[in-house]
Structure 1
Amino acid sequence: MKIFNDKNLINTALNQLYRLISGPMMLLFIPLFLTQEEQGYWYTFTSLAALAIFADLGFSTIILQFAAHEFAFLKFKDNGEIEGDYIHLRKLADFFRFSVKWLIIIVSIVFPLIILYGFYFIGLREDIDITWKIPWLIYAFSSAIVFIYSSLLYFFEGCNSVAKVEFIRFKVSVITSIILLLGLFFKIKLYALALSLLISFLYGLYMLYKNFNIAMKQLWDISRVQYYSWKKEIFNLIWKYALSWCSGYFIFQIFVPLSFNYYDATFAGKIGLSNSIWTAIMSISNIFIVSKMPYINMLVSKKLWIELDRILKNIFLKLVGTYILGMISFFLLYYILYNKLFIFQRLLDLYSMLILSICWFLQLIVSFMATYLRAHKKEPLMYISIFCAVYVSISTFFIVNNFPSDYLFLGFLTSFIFVLPTVMYIFYLQRKEDYKIR
């Protein structure tokens, strides 16, 4: 079968499947070794660290896309160097230097603010005896370094190295989960989360250097004399991505901090645990498009529309089928094991879990269309992202102040009444334009 010859898909699946296995282990160990209040702090850490989206601003996607558009005319030699069309090699080198400089500047500005905000926000509810300050400092600092090396992995993923990059991510995930489980087992509480990220970023940096140091040195040397300036092209796009990605925080990450503030740490922990299940199922479903993302960008760059159509249809059927299978499997387990396995009692009620499952299914479809649209070096979803962020934020804030917690995700769910038809229409217009080019 063809799937077994596709290293990109195999390694992406390996990475995501490991997360699917390690995820339930975490879901079991976290309630086993942490109190409900500590679980709330744990997921609040991760939600606050997700403010790194304000450092990313969509640049990780831009790195992958722009690298793929140039690398469509290049290839790796056996010794790790890059060869091919000279013009595209020079442009790729200049883009690499631009990316490194951009990442250093953004990290030095945004992450100190995230660290300080974390101390302020968590400190507002310092009403129980939980040691969180040093773990938060370690965790937030480590997140900054993870952001840098992860972004550079996106660059090389765009250089048609999906298989290699996904295998690196797999090994980093293994190291992270081992340290995390050991930390929980030896009862170091929130330090387990902090130290696992600290050790994983050290290992991730090592793997990045080991696999791509020759190419990085080559690109950096070539870029010493600038051939192409990316500033205008990037800046014309990144502000649109920035608004979309910032909107994403308020759409997807707002629930845990609001629950932590308006309800309690216990309920915030349930939100984090429940949301992590559906994002895991979505990630597994997404392997089919993640593994093909650089290839999709290359096909757009070369305007090979017939091959692109074939790829997209195949991907859509697989990702939708995988999510539905995961959804059915979860609810069967929930029904059968709710009174037998205590972890299910750390989750939200069945009604809330059903709403969450539908929300993430609809988001999966939106993400599929967004991948195709952004492969054209465009961001046509900026305004719909802003609208959705405002709508979800206001509706959720209204709900936590006036309704029981059962209704928390209704704003998220009803946002798709506007979002899904609009994105589908934009998708249709782009497809129509591509057909005219043929």
Structure 2
Amino acid sequence: MKIGKADLVWSYLAQILRFGSNLFILPIVLRTLVPEELAIWYLFASISSLVMLIDFGFSSTIIRNVTYVFAGATQLQKEGIVEDSADMNGEVNESFLSRVIFSIKFIYTILSFVGLFLLATLGTFYLYTVIKSETLLFQHNVWIAWSIFVIATVTVIYYLYLTTLLTGRGYIKHAQKAQIVYNGAFIIIAYLGLLFGYGLIAIASALFISCIIERIFLVHYFYDSWIKKIIKNNKATFDQKKEIVTVIWFNAKKMGFVSIGSFFINKMGQFFVTSFFSLKIAAQYGLTLQIVSFVSSASLIYFNTVYPKMIYNFYKGKLDVVKKEWSLSLVLILLFFTLSTTVTLFLGEYVFEAINSKTRMLSSALIAVIMLVSFFEIQHSIAANIMTFSNKIPFLYPSILSGFSILIITYLTLSFIDANVWYMVLIQFLVQLSYNNWKWPYEASKILKTTYVEIIKDGFTNLFLLIKSIKWKY
């Protein structure tokens, strides 16, 4: 599997647009939406994030297993790797690949229907409970925007099957090109809609239309002549699909529960602030998390790009390559967080003042702590991902326990002690620091026969060598 500089460049461009899309339209959003409208949009996003949990770990599990298939595996198993089933020359078993493709498409068809049901029932009910007590002049627009948003979210869920297949195949550049088209369309449509005064409806419509445009590109990139020939000549029976789905489900359900724990850890804050604070504070919190989310996601671009390559090399027993990519990923994350936090603290308020924003971020001290919490979350998450390369999920119960602990402690604290954003942030920080933040980097280091300190040192060395290898032109 070859993932080169072109894949990396396209990944950076795609991720900048993906998480920068909201930042690019943020100035006009902050000028045209009142804080209550902005809070409602962040609530839309939070409900969508909750519903996206129905993916239940399928994406990461599927990417890993698809990579195995393209590495030559002729069968999949529930746990561990069947090394003797692989063609070590890298020849793909076309019949088996076809069955895998049909099975993955079947999985996401089911998931999209489940997502539609949850959004139309529970999501709608929760949104109603939030806005019924508010005196909002734009309630009619909220429901129109919500209807469009539901359709867009279901569309995203269904076409995840193509994204996972492209990534598992190592077609990073192609997947990122589709992502660029999606975000470019979103920015243009949302900006024009907001400019003409359509508010929430404009953003929801932009999301839906850009999903349809992305779908066209995803289909074009994945279903090339070779894949079309394979699926035409090798159909999959229901029993064959059931067998593959059963294997994938074994670890997917574990990753799904991990995702639930992760949601309670990282995403429940928006629900808490909406329930315990005013919509104005909820908007400030959501805006701050949007900035932090952009920093987190941008810092992960390198790791996400080389992720399939790391799985492939782990499968082939090339641990040195895996260690090199991990070390470089970690140092890039550290440096990016340091730079981004500094810029946000010193320039953030001036920027929002310059664009006449109706909503501001939280205090500088809170921003700094939230950035620190996010960094620790990311560094232990990529270590946990490395541990899944052997097709085992050892962090299931700690993740669930941590998530529920944060959920319960936060609820009790806000209900009976004081409704303070500081408590929400510090509870997450302390619970995660007590175990997950250090445990999984330590365990991943053992698997790769190194230490975490060595990984950091190697990361700086590899970064220096990378910079030195660049042919600078004067």
Q: Taking structure 2 as the reference length, what is the TM-score of the superposition?
A: 0.83
Equivalent in the alignment of 2:50: 51
Asked whether 1:120 is paired with 2:125, we answer yes
Amino acid paired to 1:268 = A
2-structure distance, mates of 1:394, 1:8: 42
Moved more, 313-322 or 196-205: 313-322
2-structure distance, mates of 1:161, 1:170: 14
2-structure distance, mates of 1:404, 1:258: 9
CA contact (8 A) 2:35 2:279 kept: yes
2-structure distance, mates of 1:218, 1:342: 56
2-structure distance, mates of 1:235, 1:118: 26
Q: CA deviation at 1:255?
A: 1.1
Amino acid paired to 1:243 = F
> Structure 2 residue aligned with 1:103, among 86, 103, 108?
108
> Structure 2 residue aligned with 1:382, among 396, 406, 416?
396
Per the alignment, do residues 357 and 117 of structure 1 end up closer, same or farther by CA in structure 2, a change over 3 Å counting?
same
CA contact (8 A) 2:190 2:203 kept: yes
Matches within 5 A, 1:220-259: 220-225=231-236, 229-259=243-273
How many residues are treated as equivalent by the alignment? 422
Matches within 5 A, 1:70-219: 70-73=69-72, 88-124=93-129, 125-126=131-132, 127=134, 128-130=136-138, 131-214=141-224, 215-219=226-230
Amino acid paired to 1:104 = T
CA contact (8 A) 1:146 1:201 kept: yes
Asked whether 1:319 is paired with 2:333, we answer yes
Q: CA deviation at 1:432?
A: 4.3
CA contact (8 A) 2:8 2:302 kept: yes
Equivalent in the alignment of 1:328: 342
Q: CA deviation at 1:187?
A: 1.0
Per the alignment, do residues 375 and 289 of structure 1 end up closer, same or farther by CA in structure 2, a change over 3 Å counting?
same
SS in 2 for 1:142: helix
Equivalent in the alignment of 2:305: 291
Equivalent in the alignment of 1:392: 406
Asked whether 1:406 is paired with 2:414, we answer no
Equivalent in the alignment of 1:79: none
Gaps of 5+ in 1: 75-83, 434-438
> Structure 2 residue aligned with 1:416, among 432, 435, 453?
432
Q: Deviations over 1:343-383 (max 9, x none)?
A: 49521122221221111111120122122112222222211
Q: CA deviation at 1:32?
A: 0.6
Amino acid paired to 2:27 = L
Amino acid paired to 1:415 = V
Equivalent in the alignment of 2:80: none
Per the alignment, do residues 225 and 342 of structure 1 end up closer, same or farther by CA in structure 2, a change over 3 Å counting?
closer
2-structure distance, mates of 1:414, 1:218: 54
Amino acid paired to 2:104 = S
2-structure distance, mates of 1:56, 1:349: 35
Equivalent in the alignment of 2:463: none
Per the alignment, do residues 181 and 372 of structure 1 end up closer, same or farther by CA in structure 2, a change over 3 Å counting?
same
Equivalent in the alignment of 1:14: 13
Moved more, 37-46 or 252-261: 252-261
Moved more, 51-60 or 289-298: 51-60
2-structure distance, mates of 1:148, 1:60: 12
CA contact (8 A) 1:149 1:204 kept: no
Amino acid paired to 2:218 = L
CA contact (8 A) 1:271 1:348 kept: yes
CA contact (8 A) 1:380 1:426 kept: no
Amino acid paired to 2:231 = W
CA contact (8 A) 1:48 1:118 kept: yes
1-structure distance, mates of 2:267, 2:231: 36
Q: CA deviation at 1:340?
A: 5.3
Equivalent in the alignment of 1:39: 38
1-structure distance, mates of 2:236, 2:191: 48
2-structure distance, mates of 1:336, 1:28: 13
Amino acid paired to 1:416 = Q
Gaps of 5+ in 2: 74-88, 451-474
Per the alignment, do residues 238 and 22 of structure 1 end up closer, same or farther by CA in structure 2, a change over 3 Å counting?
closer
Per the alignment, do residues 290 and 267 of structure 1 end up closer, same or farther by CA in structure 2, a change over 3 Å counting?
same
2-structure distance, mates of 1:24, 1:44: 17
1-structure distance, mates of 2:227, 2:51: 25
SS in 1 for 2:223: helix
CA contact (8 A) 1:58 1:241 kept: yes
Q: Deviations over 1:267-304 (max 9, x none)?
A: 22111111010110111110110110110111111111
SS in 2 for 1:375: helix
Q: CA deviation at 1:56?
A: 0.7
2-structure distance, mates of 1:242, 1:327: 31
Per the alignment, do residues 235 and 25 of structure 1 end up closer, same or farther by CA in structure 2, a change over 3 Å counting?
closer
2-structure distance, mates of 1:17, 1:246: 27
2-structure distance, mates of 1:300, 1:110: 34
Q: CA deviation at 1:41?
A: 0.5
Amino acid paired to 2:195 = F
Per the alignment, do residues 298 and 338 of structure 1 end up closer, same or farther by CA in structure 2, a change over 3 Å counting?
same
2-structure distance, mates of 1:239, 1:217: 30
